[in-house]
Amino acid sequence: MDEAVDTQSAILMSATALLRQRTFEDISYLDLADAVSVSERTIYRRFPTRSHLLEALGRWIEAEHFPMQGFATPAEFRAAAQRRFRAFEAEPAYAFVAARGVSLSPIADGTESPITSAISAMVRGAAPTLNPRDALRVTATMRYFASPLFWARMRTGFDMNAEEVVAAFDAAMDSVLPTRPKANRAA
């Protein structure tokens, strides 16, 4: 079992390294097989389609290159997300693959990611009286705005640099954070 996990990691590590020179589309299974010194069949067995590969690679890159620092309060969450946006900016090719990986039809089993669980716990802690429905809306919105998808859209759709992305994220969080006193909460 250990050996199986290692092959998988070796493939993803090689794919990540190849992304420094070319786009995901230009990385063939044969390139990967050569880089890892296994047969092309082994790559196909792990990743039957390129979508499998892209999804696994996106998750791998997010975990290995862009880990989000732990947070318990909304302020810590914001700081951690902002730090990650700056990290995306420093390695844009990786960040785009991470963004693409999470926007695919899911193939791997859909276990909740650690960031999602942490946001969920943070929202419960910051607003313990919030009803479950509103808590879910807040959690879902924060999760989505903290993702590499937000960074990718701000960068390609709005030509924003890292600091502008951070400011846009901040403004959105001001609107949805439950702890922020608002003039008109009921509506």
Examine residue 16 and tell whether it contacts another protein (CB under 8 A): no
User: Which residue lies nearer to another protein by CB, 6 or 179?
Assistant: 179
Q: By C-alpha distance, which of 87, 89, 93 is closest to 161?
A: 89
For residue 133, the minimal CB distance to another protein (Å) is: 8
For residue 107, the minimal CB distance to another protein (Å) is: 10
For residue 82, the minimal CB distance to another protein (Å) is: 15
Footprint of another protein on 110-139 (CB under 8 A): 110, 112-113, 116, 136-137, 139
Examine residue 157 and tell whether it contacts another protein (CB under 8 A): yes
Examine residue 50 and tell whether it contacts another protein (CB under 8 A): yes
Identity at 5, one-letter amino acid code: V
Footprint of another protein on 76-105 (CB under 8 A): 92, 96, 99-100, 102-105
For residue 83, the minimal CB distance to another protein (Å) is: 20
Residue in the block written with tokens 């296994």: 38
Burial class (CB in 10 A: 0-12, 13-18, 19+), 110: exposed
Q: By C-alpha distance, which of 102, 94, 35, 22 is closest to 65?
A: 94
Examine residue 149 and tell whether it contacts another protein (CB under 8 A): yes
Q: By C-alpha distance, which of 133, 155, 135 is closest to 143?
A: 135
CA–chain centroid gap for 46, Å, is 22
* # binding residues, another protein (CB under 8 A): 47
Strand ranges inside the chain, DSSP E = none
User: Which residue lies nearer to another protein by CB, 5 or 132?
Assistant: 132
Sequence-ordered list of residues with C-beta below 8 angstroms from that of 7, at least 6 positions apart, any chain? 36, 38, 42, 46
CA–chain centroid gap for 115, Å, is 9
Residues that bind another protein (CB under 8 A): 23, 25, 49-51, 92, 96, 99-100, 102-106, 110, 112-113, 116, 136-137, 139-141, 143-145, 147, 149-150, 152-158, 160, 167-168, 171-172, 174-176, 182, 184, 187
